[in-house]
Structure 1
Amino acid sequence: MTDALLRALSQRGTKRIWGVPGGGSSLDLIAAAPHHGIHFVLCRHEGAAAMAALADAELTGAPGVVLTTKGPGVGNAVNGLACATLERAPLLLVSDGFSATQADWVTHQFFDQRAATAAVAKGYARCDSNDPVAEIEALLNLACAAPRGAVHLDLTGQAARRQAEPKDFAPPAPLPPDPAALDAARALLAGARKPVVIAGLEAAEASEALRALVTALGCPVLVTCKAKGCVADADPHCVGVFTGGSLEANCVGEADLILLAGLDPVELIPQPWRYTAPVLDIGLRPHPVHYIQPAVGLHGDLGASLAALAADAAPSAWLLPVIGAHGDAMRAALAWAGSGGVAPPRVVQIAREEAGLHAGQATAPRATVDAGAHTFSATAFWACAAPRDLLISNGLASMGFALPAGIAAALHDPARGAIAFTGDGGLMMCLGELATAFEARARLVTIVFNDAALSLIDIKQQHRQLLPEGVRWGRVDFCTIAEGMGVLGLHADTEEMLREALAVALAFDGPSLIDVQVDPAGYPAQLQALRG
């Protein structure tokens, strides 16, 4: 049974299992994994392991796998499962399970593990039926079906050691777009003079067709955080990041047609849709909960839909200087110069420059971004050339994502390595994974925006004119902590110190951490510009 599971994962492209094992089926999977070309990575916390597995899934398209013990292991992993489901990433939790007879008399570490994950997992299996291999196939297919998400395999040691005949995996063919919907979409597009394209997370797997459509139309394109790089930031049609807030409203407000290309409503901030132009929704599937009612829904194979529209598209009335001015205005609204520390936008700009992204080098590091006030600077100023050049938790917007995701990105492509942008609060949630990065010899530079506060919540507290309580703490010396875990620790209080630290860190063959004292003074104005 163990071999059947590992073979099914290997055939789909899974290369790693992340986790903190228990003494049951976990040990069987760890022992058998190398025979299937799968490497087990021992993490320090199951929640971080799930975040790393999620990043693996986004980078490979294959199911990410997190392995846990029963009871507390499952409880710790739940946030990572919620993150995978709201990021639309296929993730398999394999937990040590209780047998049916144990459930009648065991109370130690026992709770209903299926019920514990039911709110955030798409499916559940135990592989105790007459056809356990069919259970595995159905569970993995469910994880990979739109909307992708987490599934849970509760595996007892007895089930893991059952004999089962593996099956060959045949990937399902994508559904073609409906011809009638395609004709309606073509007619809608033909009547538009100033269309605007908004690309979302599904576009990561159809970026070539998306770029062709944008070029054919000669129109502005905005991307969500998870769609960064689907159209390169250097492309003159790329305006910036779309969140559903006010910053992008001047550009999108000029549109007489809005094309949503793979946009999932889970990516947008909870504000009402502010545009009156008709919407053409192009995606893998219709969304049961949406901000708007599209004029036309074109659902199915996203690449095929975009390519079909591009083939007939005529140039729009947009002018490149106008598109460029919109992008310049958006970036200017988010920038500020720091005093008494480095301004967060400058942290990202300097990291981008030192990493060589301004020169378009193919081997430039990927970036991972944590949730927090620094997120806006990282997504706005980290230039991406291709999909998945930046990884972020956007649907759940969970803290504690950037470090484990950065480890996964660095191991996925050791030549490129990765840079993790994290706040001090997010890092403290998964600090132990610095030791995981050291043992894995990951080429990861962790940049800490250290301002001794939950800055995003601090801003909201200030806005409500409440006393500054419950959102600030004493400044932590992350350099010393990093060194204690074997990670190269560096410190920066100024832009010059940051450049010097980055030069050392990027040349280092292993994990490093730069503790940057940041100036948070511009955060309130930045948030106001973004969200209104």
Structure 2
Amino acid sequence: MTVQARTAIAAPTVADVLADVFAQLGVSRIFGVPGGGSSLDLIEAAARAGIPFTLARHEGAAAMMATACAEVTGRPGAVLVTKGPGLANAANGIANASLERAPVLLVTDGFTPTQAGYVTHQVFDQAAFMAPLVRGYAVTSGPDLGARIAELVAAMHGPCRGPAVLEMTGEAARRLAETVTLGPLPFASAPDDASVTSAAALVRKARRPVIVVGLEARDASRSVRALARTLGAPVLVTYKAKGVIADDDPFFAGIFTGGAAEAPLVDQADVILLAGVDPVELILQPWRYRAPVIDLVRFRRPVHYTEPAVVIEGAIAAGLDALAADARASAWSPTEIARARTGWLAALANPGAGDRVGPERVVTLAAEACARAGLHPRVTVDAGAHMFSATSFWPCREPNDLLISNGLASMGFALPAAIAAALADPERPALAFTGDGGLLMCLGELATAASSGARVVVIVFNDGSLSLIDLKKGRRALPPGSVGWAHPGFAEAARGMGCLGFTVETVAEYRTALDAALAAPDRALIDVRIDAAGYPAQLAAARG
């Protein structure tokens, strides 16, 4: 990796060393909620290193922000919290980073040996608590600080990328330390020639190959598009890989979740190429297809939905390029692929009735308004029933045009992620598509959006319930209020926290609010009282 030019500090502390490590890694910003210990020292040291700090309102949201920042920048995300409740609050955001395969370094305050030896205020085994969620955990006490930091960085960037934790007490943060210079980051190896040869033979024989692209191929967009053109084959993407092939590309055929919506197309395949698909991206359903599978992966996994005929392990782009070099045109016609794409969208249609705003219209009208305004925002999507419309009908051009918590599928993701995305890429505003339930989980981050200067428009699919859970309850006679609530006053809350706020119920009102929100330099929220009647049919079409 390229080490950035840094200003040497005559007597650096451990906090200074860690801030310098962040600079070497290209960390653009630290998110968090500080306590009174090491976090204050790190904020101060990071400022000297030119790395700003963004104060979140909740540690879990801060970790979500760090994850989104890592995805947008391609560099590790950073988050800091205090010990005890701060670390515990961050756990959901770190679980998100783990299942989204995002390299995030969390720095937490720790306990002195005296504190750790007692059952007392805020003390618990932080390392054991975080162990299932992180790739590594280290403390800054003792010698060989550089080696421990290097091990954490390597673990974050290993085959299965993810978060790590560094525990640093206030005493340790202020201790003098030697500077640390990081070596090259781990990288995927070149694919094995034998596996490429076997896969290429399957591809040459295939007349109807289908390409499915996952999160590991987000840095292989050029190679995916080149192979699709060579084969003339349809490409489906997972939620995380939306934009690896543009939605307006003639070979784009829809989204692959392992559900029902894509089955009419994939059923026709005589070979399926999984390009960087992580099993964590697929819904829990049996594999539907009999065609042989070629699995291009950065590393082999112990659990998968299907047994591949060939596994190409290593750099995804290199494997795709090797297959393209020996491929020939398939029997697919552009008309067939276009018909499949149109059919997939038709199956997921949910526009609402009359002048009511259905989930599909929430998305398509927002896209039209952005086009009128000459904007190309990045979109973040929360978990919930609205995600079917948001992921299907929002047009993407490039990888990470759309950010979503898919592996963990956590509510409360869209708003923090939008704030981080807008701060990481100030030239592009961010649109947060969120349900009312997800927004209630992180409502305080509207204040973060206002105070941070992030240009964010929050669009709320508000139907007064946990819609996806409501659909799943079946005939159960649940007590009132189990999966729903009275409509909250989101617009009023937004205005109270320094954002513009609109409440709309009709298509005309929504169009007017969109134009006003996108024209304003400030943060805005549009509370859309949606027509949710189409959700059951949409869920059935998507998942079967």
The reply to whether TM is greater than 0.5 is: yes
CA distance in 1, matches of 2:475, 2:71: 38
Matching residue of 1:180? 194
**In the alignment, which of 412, 421, 442 is matched to residue 409 of structure 1?**
421
Matching residue of 1:346? 361
Matching residue of 2:442? 430
Shift of 1:123: 1.0
Q: Please list the CA deviations of residues 275-318 of structure 1 after superposition, one character each: whole Å capped at 9, or x if unmatched.
A: 00000001111121100000000010111111111122111000
Q: Which amino acid aligns with 1:38?
A: I
CA distance in 2, matches of 1:306, 1:466: 52
Shift of 1:173: 4.2
State the identity %. Answer: 56
* Residues 1:301 and 2:315 are matched in the alignment: yes
Gaps of 5+ in 1: none
Shift of 1:367: 0.2
Matching residue of 1:29? 42
**What are the residue-to-residue correspondences of 1:491-506 with 2, within 5 Å?**
491-506=503-518
Secondary structure, counterpart of 2:83 in structure 1? coil
CA distance in 2, matches of 1:79, 1:464: 31
**What are the residue-to-residue correspondences of 1:37-436 with 2, within 5 Å?**
37-105=50-118, 107-162=120-175, 163-339=177-353, 341-356=356-371, 363-436=375-448
Shift of 1:119: 1.4
Q: Please list the CA deviations of residues 93-124 of structure 1 after superposition, one character each: whole Å capped at 9, or x if unmatched.
A: 11100022321236101111111111111110
CA distance in 1, matches of 2:214, 2:142: 39
Q: Please list the CA deviations of residues 119-148 of structure 1 after superposition, one character each: whole Å capped at 9, or x if unmatched.
A: 111110002232101111110111121211
- CA-atom RMSD in angstroms: 1.3
**In the alignment, which of 485, 488, 493 is matched to residue 476 of structure 1?**
488
Q: Which amino acid aligns with 2:62?
A: A
Q: Are residues 129 and 185 of structure 1, via their aligned partners in 2, closer, same or farther at CA, if it must alter by over 3 Å? A: farther
Shift of 1:510: 2.1
CA distance in 2, matches of 1:477, 1:107: 41
Moved >4 Å (runs of 4+): none
Shift of 1:465: 4.8
Q: Please list the CA deviations of residues 415-466 of structure 1 after superposition, one character each: whole Å capped at 9, or x if unmatched.
A: 21100000000000000000000001111000001110000001111x3454
CA distance in 1, matches of 2:48, 2:170: 19
Secondary structure, counterpart of 1:415 in structure 2? coil
Question: Is this contact kept in 2: 1:373–1:455, CA < 8 A?
Answer: yes
Question: Is this contact kept in 1: 2:359–2:386, CA < 8 A?
Answer: yes
Gaps of 5+ in 2: 1-13
Q: Which amino acid aligns with 1:70?
A: K
Question: Is this contact kept in 1: 2:60–2:93, CA < 8 A?
Answer: yes
Question: Is this contact kept in 1: 2:150–2:182, CA < 8 A?
Answer: no
Q: Are residues 465 and 106 of structure 1, via their aligned partners in 2, closer, same or farther at CA, if it must alter by over 3 Å? A: closer
**In the alignment, which of 465, 468, 471 is matched to residue 456 of structure 1?**
468
Question: Is this contact kept in 2: 1:228–1:390, CA < 8 A?
Answer: yes
Shift of 1:174: 3.0
Shift of 1:164: 2.1
With the length of structure 2 as denominator, give the TM-score of the two structures.
0.95
* Greater alpha carbon shift after TM alignment, 286-295 vs 155-164: 155-164
Question: Is this contact kept in 1: 2:104–2:163, CA < 8 A?
Answer: yes
CA distance in 1, matches of 2:201, 2:475: 48
CA distance in 1, matches of 2:187, 2:415: 35
Q: Please list the CA deviations of residues 229-281 of structure 1 after superposition, one character each: whole Å capped at 9, or x if unmatched.
A: 00000001101111100110000000000000000000000000000000000
Question: Is this contact kept in 2: 1:458–1:468, CA < 8 A?
Answer: no
CA distance in 2, matches of 1:411, 1:173: 28
CA distance in 1, matches of 2:390, 2:82: 35
CA distance in 2, matches of 1:2, 1:134: 16
Secondary structure, counterpart of 1:205 in structure 2? coil
Secondary structure, counterpart of 1:227 in structure 2? coil
Q: Please list the CA deviations of residues 30-88 of structure 1 after superposition, one character each: whole Å capped at 9, or x if unmatched.
A: 00112222110000000000000000011112111111111100110000111100001
Question: Is this contact kept in 2: 1:8–1:169, CA < 8 A?
Answer: no
Secondary structure, counterpart of 1:364 in structure 2? coil
With the length of structure 1 as denominator, give the TM-score of the two structures.
0.97
Matching residue of 2:519? 507
Q: Which amino acid aligns with 1:205?
A: D
CA distance in 2, matches of 1:341, 1:468: 29
Question: Is this contact kept in 2: 1:263–1:283, CA < 8 A?
Answer: yes
Secondary structure, counterpart of 1:446 in structure 2? strand
Question: Is this contact kept in 1: 2:350–2:389, CA < 8 A?
Answer: no
Shift of 1:407: 0.2
* Greater alpha carbon shift after TM alignment, 153-162 vs 486-495: 153-162
CA distance in 1, matches of 2:542, 2:168: 46
Shift of 1:9: 1.7
Q: Which amino acid aligns with 1:396?
A: L
* Residues 1:517 and 2:537 are matched in the alignment: no
CA distance in 2, matches of 1:136, 1:152: 10
Secondary structure, counterpart of 1:449 in structure 2? strand
Question: Is this contact kept in 2: 1:3–1:166, CA < 8 A?
Answer: no
Shift of 1:485: 0.3
Shift of 1:170: 2.3
Shift of 1:182: 1.1
* Greater alpha carbon shift after TM alignment, 46-55 vs 136-145: 136-145
Q: Which amino acid aligns with 2:214?
A: G
Question: Is this contact kept in 2: 1:11–1:169, CA < 8 A?
Answer: no
CA distance in 2, matches of 1:466, 1:460: 12
How many residues matched?
528
**In the alignment, which of 464, 480, 487 is matched to residue 499 of structure 2?**
487
